[in-house]
Chains A and B, each alone.
Chain A
Amino acid sequence: MIDVQQVSRYFGDVTAVNDVSFKVEKGEIVGFLGPNAAGKTTTMRILTTYLPATSGTATVAGYDVHEQSMEVRKRIGYLPENPPLYQDMRVKDYLEFVAKIKGVAPAERKKAVDDAMAKTAIGDVSTRVIKVLSKGYKQRVGLAQALVHNPDVLILDEPTVGLDPNQIIEVRQLIKRLAGDHTIILSTHILPEVSMTCERVVIINKGVIVATDTTDGLTKKHAGATRLTVSVDAPVAAVKEKLATIKGVTKVEETSGSEYTTVFVESDKDVEIRPEVAKIVVANNWPLYEIKAEDVSLEDVFLHLTTKEEGTVS
């Protein structure tokens, strides 16, 4: 449905997006994850034909975003970071206007507007002027605007910003419900959002894609499975050597920053190694300070991926 091939975009000397490639299949929800200024918005703007790419090609629903931009525009719904609302219009008039310029046939316009309002639960403010609405309502009007012409592809730039927790849950559920009929790309810097709504994640940092995978796969791949932190008062070499002998251990890694010897012990997912670690510690008479199992979350993966980048650069 969406195919991005080696897209780059420069603003003068600044590289906003650098050689980005990814694919999204029909009906998928893909999360675009990255810290602020990572290039999420620029990538989305290229996909929505708002900005041309400096190099590379992107197609949406089989149409090139640059060569056939009008065809692409008919098939996408876009919610920019700031919802594009005409403040002095009434909600219903605004949605009718959007339906009109998105090419919804006159006979279907009323139904399209009503459906979009029903999906986003804004029917009760349909005759209000947009500028008096709360941030949450404005955000939902923005979402309704993206949905009104029932597009194949929805591109949502930080759709839950500014909503209260209840509304966030509602919007996430709404996005999930929409997934079957629509292909959705949403960007966010909120991690739980991705693990809750998306099937696949594209992590982008400093204009470069650092990982693309399913949420589960990403956690698995980058986290190994279980990770123990073990702190003992003993020589590092001995600790590493002994712990590595435990069955199922894949890696023993030392860390600094503690006055004792601290190591990370990674093992296969289903193997419980804590009793074995304890046995070895006792057998060698090492004073034990800490033994802790860590759940590796997407957050760790994200931090790992986006800060590793930094480390190698400087």
Chain B
Amino acid sequence: MRNFLAIYQREIKSYFSSPIAYVVIGLFLILAGIFFYLIISNFVQMCMRVDMMAQQYRMAPQKMNVNMMAIRPIMHNLSLFALFFLPLVTMRLYSDEKRTGTIELLMTSPVTNLQAILGKFAAAGTLFLVMLSGTFLYIIFIFLYGNPEFGPIFTGYLGLFLLGLCYVSFGVFFSTLTDNQIIAAVSTFVFILVFWAIGWVSGMLSPALGQTLSNFSLIEHFDDFAKGVLDTKHILYYISFIFIGLFLSFVSIESTRWRGR
């Protein structure tokens, strides 16, 4: 535990004592803010149109659901932005240690590889949590001017967080494979994107195969979270995904010793 904390704290300090954390968090929030504005103003216009139609035909105004029509698209947007940003957060975790040789310190200190991997994973996860919590501000606006349901917001954020940790765990893995940060980031991005889009081809395939593939899709599992449905099968899927990423990182680091590179 002490070693895990030492690694964790060092990574957190390294994020926040360099511009990385501020640039990533700042740009993430700006991007999220722009799309928040677009989605909300679109929603408001739609509400006004529906009201006008109701007046014209002398009908009771129809109730618009802000959760379904605004918050859910916002959640989907955030899940995509996280895909752009998180590989940049995780790319240096091991590559940089390999490039500068500090890996020799880490691997000749009484710290197990598991402690180091978990420390780094938790640090990147924490940074993602900070990024996400910045977007609470937008949600607060919705609460001020509308009355959304709290449930779907909570499950949406839980889903986003788990999804982000999936990106992070494979980000750590690809970072253990190379001493080049760009390669680590691009491989993570492409790998996650493939798992993201794997469900899209299901329509072209036989139903059985299509269903299997979309079960593997990262984003299909996210839909229910965004809708406000909390299903253990989705949680289990994300946790397995995270576990596999961390396990591969562990195997990769252990085998580095044998390969001697």
State A210–B257 Cα separation when bound (angstroms).
Answer: 28
State A50–B256 Cα separation when bound (angstroms).
Answer: 10
User: Min CB distance, B254 to chain A, in Å?
Assistant: 10
Segment touching B, from A79-87, A119-127, A178-186: A79-87
A: number of interface residues (CB 8 Å): 30
| Interfacial chain B residues near A83, Cβ < 8 Å | 101
Asked if B102 is at the interface of the complex by the 8 Å CB criterion, the answer is yes
| Complex contact B6–A86 (CB within 8 A) | no
Q: What does the 1/0 interface line of B1-13 toward A look like (CB < 8 Å)?
A: 0110011001001
Asked if B62 is at the interface of the complex by the 8 Å CB criterion, the answer is no
Q: What does the 1/0 interface line of A6-18 toward B look like (CB < 8 Å)?
A: 0001010000000
Asked if B193 is at the interface of the complex by the 8 Å CB criterion, the answer is no
Segment touching B, from A70-78, A110-118, A191-199, A279-287: A70-78
B: number of interface residues (CB 8 Å): 25
Given contacts A51-B257, A101-B3, A101-B6, contact A74 B110 (CB under 8 A): yes
| Complex contact A78–B108 (CB within 8 A) | yes
Enumerate B94-110 residues with CB–CB distance to A below 8 Å: 100-110
State A50–B106 Cα separation when bound (angstroms).
Answer: 9
| Interfacial chain A residues near B260, Cβ < 8 Å | 9, 11, 51
Asked if B147 is at the interface of the complex by the 8 Å CB criterion, the answer is no
| Complex contact A70–B110 (CB within 8 A) | yes
Asked if A168 is at the interface of the complex by the 8 Å CB criterion, the answer is no
Asked if B206 is at the interface of the complex by the 8 Å CB criterion, the answer is no
| Interfacial chain B residues near A70, Cβ < 8 Å | 110, 112
User: Min CB distance, B127 to chain A, in Å?
Assistant: 16
| Interfacial chain A residues near B109, Cβ < 8 Å | 73, 98, 101-102
Name the one of A50, A82, A93, A103 contacting B107, with C-beta atoms under 8 angstroms.
A50
| Interfacial chain A residues near B3, Cβ < 8 Å | 100-101
| Complex contact B100–A73 (CB within 8 A) | no
| Interfacial chain A residues near B104, Cβ < 8 Å | 45, 48, 50, 78, 80, 84
Asked if A97 is at the interface of the complex by the 8 Å CB criterion, the answer is yes
Asked if B111 is at the interface of the complex by the 8 Å CB criterion, the answer is yes
Chain A minimum-CB-distance residue to B100: A87
Enumerate A45-59 residues with CB–CB distance to B below 8 Å: 45, 48-52
| Interfacial chain A residues near B100, Cβ < 8 Å | 82, 84-87
State A183–B10 Cα separation when bound (angstroms).
Answer: 30
State A74–B106 Cα separation when bound (angstroms).
Answer: 12
Asked if B57 is at the interface of the complex by the 8 Å CB criterion, the answer is no
| Interfacial chain A residues near B101, Cβ < 8 Å | 80, 82-84
User: Min CB distance, A173 to chain B, in Å?
Assistant: 25
User: Min CB distance, A25 to chain B, in Å?
Assistant: 22
Name the one of A45, A76, A87, A100 contacting B2, with C-beta atoms under 8 angstroms.
A100
Interface, chain A (partner B; CB < 8 A): 9, 11, 45, 48-52, 70, 73-74, 76, 78, 80, 82-89, 93, 97-98, 100-103, 145
Instruction: List 10 extra interface pairs beyond A84-B101, A100-B2, CB under 8 A.
Output: A78-B104, A78-B105, A78-B108, A80-B101, A84-B100, A88-B18, A89-B10, A98-B109, A101-B7, A102-B109
A/B interface sample: 29 pairs, CB < 8 A:
A49-B107, A50-B104, A51-B257, A70-B110, A70-B112, A74-B110, A76-B108, A78-B104, A78-B105, A78-B108, A80-B101, A84-B100, A84-B102, A84-B104, A84-B105, A84-B106, A85-B100, A86-B100, A88-B17, A89-B10, A89-B13, A93-B13, A97-B6, A98-B109, A101-B6, A101-B7, A101-B110, A102-B110, A103-B110
